[in-house]
Chain A
Amino acid sequence: MNKFVKLFFGVFGAFGVSWLGFVAYPYLTFAGLQLNKDPNTQEVAPPAKPGTAEQGYHIYASNGCIYCHSQFVRDKNEGSDIDREWGKRRTVARDYLYDRQVFLGTSRLGADLTNVGVRQTDPQWFYRYLYSAHPESAMPAYKWLFRTQKIVGQPSVDGVKLDGADAPPPGYEVVPTEDGKALVDYLLSLKRNYALPEAPEPTE
């Protein structure tokens, strides 16, 4: 029994230290992060996200966007992220203050999406890209986020403008499903283009 107690405490102690360092510490520290209020303009950063983004997180997660896309910008001396115009400055902990789910990511088969809502502001661009990015990009087609329906009366406002082989038959239109709209709302909300004092834009 004595040996078990020794082993038990050794085993718990060894692992418990890493638990304190990498679980308890970040949990306590990041839970206490505050918004940044600009003393001159009284602007608050990061700005609040639209309510539709919550459902979008779920679609982003369950369709595995994270397996090819990251959501963090490294400093200029760490990589080409800023040169690739994925962001003007590195991202810091406060950038994720409002994210109910954080998708930092470990793979970049596709572009970083930290600021994709800054680069592309037109929902139509996202719809067309998600419907079929082939052949210009290797991204899979997410056609199940859309449905083809008969046009009754006026065409839908968010009907996807498609041409060539993707175009629906005459009298029909391709519209995003609720899931598709939620995902695009979420992607449009990805804008970390406000200023934070702890992450100044690199000067040169």
Chain B
Amino acid sequence: MSAMNQQIRLLQEPTDSVERSIRAPVLIFFGAAAFWLALGSLFWLLNVSQMYTPEAWWALPGIGWLSFGRSYPVFLNCMVYGWASGAGIGVGLWLLAKLCGTPLRRPSLPIVGAILWNVGVGLGILSILAGNGNGKEMLEFPGPVAFILFLALLIIGFWAVSMFVHREPGATYVSQWYLVGAFLWFPWMYATASALLNPFRIPGVAQSAIHWWFCGALMQLWLTPIALAASYYFLPKIVGKPIYTYRLALVGFWGTAIFGGWTGLIHGMGGPLPAWMITVSVVANVLMLIPVIANALNFHLTVRDSFEDLRWHLPLRFLLFGGFAYMVWNTLGALLSFRTFGRLAQFTFVSAGHRYLGLIAFCSMILFGALYLIVPRLLGRDWQYPRLAKTHLWFNVVGLGMIGFDLVIGGAIQGFALQDSKISMDAINDLIQPFLLVQNVAVLLIFVANISFAAAVKLILLLPTRVRPQEPAAESSKESLPEVSVA
């Protein structure tokens, strides 16, 4: 048996009725999410190739429904709704069931929710390809599709919150707080933004304010809380110690809740929105550093002493990479909100790099780590090919590192050039060609990584081989840890 599966098994408890009750919806979400991840990565690769070599055959010139302006939203929506949100809902439901100790009542409805969600994502992707995207980044799905997704969210959000309401008596844990928040915030923000930007389509720049508000809240109050909930659950489990301090966890939670909704409007710097809105957003982005440092410090202090023993623990490395990216992403966000830097970075690759840091280097990597730990225990099977997981880790680490540096440096050069009106737009394009090449290579690496992961998930789901033998009970001694409560 491989070292990786051994490490994962150390965390196992016997699967109980609580876990069995959520198995089906969670696995539907995971299986579909792996597919969307693979598809999204493919479209990402297509999209960056179309930027670097627009005329080459692999950029598929002349095919309208696969052109640059459609491959980008397909990539982004696959990643945000299909992969990160789908896998995030699965992880969130599993964590809530575990932490609340309540079996899921009427598990058929969340299954309906899971199917509805993924059908919605599929219809949305097809609508974008067919030329019905509405051009609002991360909200491209047309109105009826957004409504399907909203229905799915209502079902799942209701189930998630009701698990918390019916939890076993006792202290609550910080992960539960993040998840209750996430499952309440997301339907709210999604309904607001979809309704006001799609069917009603309010006139004027209020559209942009609401759109950017949604983009910020989507990252800070939907994907981030899920990733943090998973980190707060798994890091102490892996190192076999409770979380270092609950005070910092409290600061982290309420700080995120209070500042997270205000972060999105820095995109509007210098634009037609009232100046106070931008200023508030700038302040929120800087203040976000308080919860971010509190959380990151807490994670660091929790794993610090055990790090030497566990440095080759594969899921832990995904979680730690994600935690590191969480710091970098928010630090960059705070820097960019200062007008001096913001003015330069506005409209450049730095914005794209900032988004990928949050969405892919932070949230995705944490979700990968969580899936490596959750899927085998839900199925009672081992990962068949640990080599796929190693490929997944290293190609992602190298690819994400490359694209991060590339977009920030290339974007800074682009930003300085944009500030100088003597440099023509076409000259700027020539200037950034080398960075587009590096981006293309980096995305190719990330594509290989994500395909390995999708293949590993499909294999473990569909090939019922290598059923795990019963483990002696002594191995799970690390499980009976007291969890520190925040309330």
Residue count of chain A within 8 Å CB distance of chain B: 70
Residues of B within 8 Å of A7, CB to CB, are: 177, 180-181, 487
Contact check, A140 vs B135: say whether CB atoms are below 8 A apart.
Answer: no
Complex interface residues of chain B between 383 and 415 (CB less than 8 A to chain A): none
A191: Cβ under 8 A from any B Cβ:
no
Contact check, A64 vs B135: say whether CB atoms are below 8 A apart.
Answer: yes
Contact check, B206 vs A141: say whether CB atoms are below 8 A apart.
Answer: no
Complex interface residues of chain A between 91 and 141 (CB less than 8 A to chain B): 91-93, 95-111, 134, 136-138, 140-141
B165: Cβ under 8 A from any A Cβ:
yes
A172: Cβ under 8 A from any B Cβ:
no
Residues of B within 8 Å of A98, CB to CB, are: 203
Given known pairs A101-B134, A108-B347, the reply for A4 and B257 (CB within 8 Å) is no
Given known pairs A33-B204, A72-B272, A96-B204, the reply for A142 and B280 (CB within 8 Å) is no
Contact check, B133 vs A61: say whether CB atoms are below 8 A apart.
Answer: yes
User: Contacting A26 at CB < 8 Å: which of B185, B273, B351?
Assistant: B273
User: Contacting A109 at CB < 8 Å: which of B73, B164, B221, B429?
Assistant: B429
B168: Cβ under 8 A from any A Cβ:
no
Residues of A within 8 Å of B425, CB to CB, are: 108, 110-111, 137
Contact check, A104 vs B137: say whether CB atoms are below 8 A apart.
Answer: no
Contact check, A67 vs B267: say whether CB atoms are below 8 A apart.
Answer: no
In the complex formed, the residue of A with least CB distance to B351 is: A106
How close is B253's CB to chain A, nearest CB, in angstroms? 9
Complex interface residues of chain B between 125 and 164 (CB less than 8 A to chain A): 128, 131-137, 164
How close is B187's CB to chain A, nearest CB, in angstroms? 11
- In the bound assembly, the distance between CA atoms of A70 and B347 in angstroms comes to 8
How close is B240's CB to chain A, nearest CB, in angstroms? 28
A60: Cβ under 8 A from any B Cβ:
yes
Residues of A within 8 Å of B273, CB to CB, are: 26, 93
Residues of B within 8 Å of A14, CB to CB, are: 254, 257-258, 261
- In the bound assembly, the distance between CA atoms of A8 and B213 in angstroms comes to 21
Residues of A within 8 Å of B208, CB to CB, are: 102, 104
Contact check, B206 vs A27: say whether CB atoms are below 8 A apart.
Answer: yes
Contact check, A15 vs B261: say whether CB atoms are below 8 A apart.
Answer: yes
B205: Cβ under 8 A from any A Cβ:
yes
Contact check, A79 vs B70: say whether CB atoms are below 8 A apart.
Answer: no
Contact check, B188 vs A15: say whether CB atoms are below 8 A apart.
Answer: yes
Residues of A within 8 Å of B260, CB to CB, are: 15, 18
Residues of A within 8 Å of B421, CB to CB, are: 80, 83-84
Given known pairs A79-B419, A109-B429, A138-B429, the reply for A93 and B205 (CB within 8 Å) is yes
- In the bound assembly, the distance between CA atoms of A21 and B276 in angstroms comes to 10
User: Contacting B261 at CB < 8 Å: which of A17, A66, A67?
Assistant: A17
Contact check, A64 vs B418: say whether CB atoms are below 8 A apart.
Answer: no
User: Contacting B270 at CB < 8 Å: which of A15, A66, A75, A141?
Assistant: A75
Given known pairs A31-B202, A63-B131, A96-B204, the reply for A80 and B419 (CB within 8 Å) is yes
Contact check, B418 vs A23: say whether CB atoms are below 8 A apart.
Answer: no
Residues of B within 8 Å of A105, CB to CB, are: 347
Contact check, B418 vs A108: say whether CB atoms are below 8 A apart.
Answer: yes
Residues of A within 8 Å of B67, CB to CB, are: 63-64, 140, 142, 144
In the complex formed, the residue of A with least CB distance to B183 is: A11
B465: Cβ under 8 A from any A Cβ:
no
User: Contacting A3 at CB < 8 Å: which of B172, B192, B418?
Assistant: B172
In the complex formed, the residue of B with least CB distance to A138 is: B429
- In the bound assembly, the distance between CA atoms of A142 and B267 in angstroms comes to 28
Given known pairs A10-B254, A14-B257, the reply for A137 and B426 (CB within 8 Å) is yes
- In the bound assembly, the distance between CA atoms of A138 and B207 in angstroms comes to 29
Contact check, A22 vs B265: say whether CB atoms are below 8 A apart.
Answer: yes
Contact check, A27 vs B135: say whether CB atoms are below 8 A apart.
Answer: no
In the complex formed, the residue of B with least CB distance to A106 is: B267
Complex interface residues of chain B between 232 and 272 (CB less than 8 A to chain A): 254, 257-258, 260-262, 264-265, 267-272
Contact check, A63 vs B70: say whether CB atoms are below 8 A apart.
Answer: yes
A41: Cβ under 8 A from any B Cβ:
no
A194: Cβ under 8 A from any B Cβ:
no
Residues of B within 8 Å of A141, CB to CB, are: 54, 61-62
How close is B161's CB to chain A, nearest CB, in angstroms? 8
Residues of A within 8 Å of B180, CB to CB, are: 4, 7-8, 11
- In the bound assembly, the distance between CA atoms of A14 and B213 in angstroms comes to 14
Contact check, B181 vs A106: say whether CB atoms are below 8 A apart.
Answer: no
Given known pairs A64-B73, A102-B207, the reply for A95 and B272 (CB within 8 Å) is yes
How close is A139's CB to chain B, nearest CB, in angstroms? 8
B72: Cβ under 8 A from any A Cβ:
yes
A65: Cβ under 8 A from any B Cβ:
yes
B481: Cβ under 8 A from any A Cβ:
no
Contact check, A4 vs B196: say whether CB atoms are below 8 A apart.
Answer: no
- In the bound assembly, the distance between CA atoms of A78 and B429 in angstroms comes to 22
B64: Cβ under 8 A from any A Cβ:
yes
Given known pairs A108-B347, A134-B55, A140-B67, the reply for A79 and B210 (CB within 8 Å) is no
Contact check, A64 vs B69: say whether CB atoms are below 8 A apart.
Answer: yes
Contact check, A62 vs B131: say whether CB atoms are below 8 A apart.
Answer: yes
Type the 1/0 row for B196-233, where 1 means its CB is closer than 8 Å to any CB of A.
Answer: 10000111111111101100010001000000000000
Contact check, A22 vs B277: say whether CB atoms are below 8 A apart.
Answer: yes
Contact check, B343 vs A101: say whether CB atoms are below 8 A apart.
Answer: no
- In the bound assembly, the distance between CA atoms of A33 and B343 in angstroms comes to 28
Contact check, B135 vs A101: say whether CB atoms are below 8 A apart.
Answer: yes
How close is A147's CB to chain B, nearest CB, in angstroms? 12
- In the bound assembly, the distance between CA atoms of A63 and B128 in angstroms comes to 9
B346: Cβ under 8 A from any A Cβ:
yes
User: Contacting B196 at CB < 8 Å: which of A27, A80, A90?
Assistant: A27
Contact check, A78 vs B270: say whether CB atoms are below 8 A apart.
Answer: yes
B50: Cβ under 8 A from any A Cβ:
yes
Residue from the set A1, A33, A84, A104 with the largest chain B CB neighbour count within 10 Å = A104
Residues of A within 8 Å of B203, CB to CB, are: 30-31, 96-100
Residue from the set A84, A90, A91, A145 with the largest chain B CB neighbour count within 10 Å = A84
| Given A22-B277, A79-B343: 11 more A-B contacts, CB < 8 Å | A8-B180, A14-B254, A22-B212, A31-B202, A61-B135, A80-B420, A80-B421, A104-B267, A106-B267, A109-B429, A143-B64
- The 6 closest A-B CB pairs, nearest first, are A64-B69, A18-B261, A61-B135, A144-B64, A74-B270, A83-B421
- Cβ contacts A to B, 6 pairs, < 8 Å: A4-B164, A30-B203, A63-B131, A79-B270, A107-B352, A145-B64
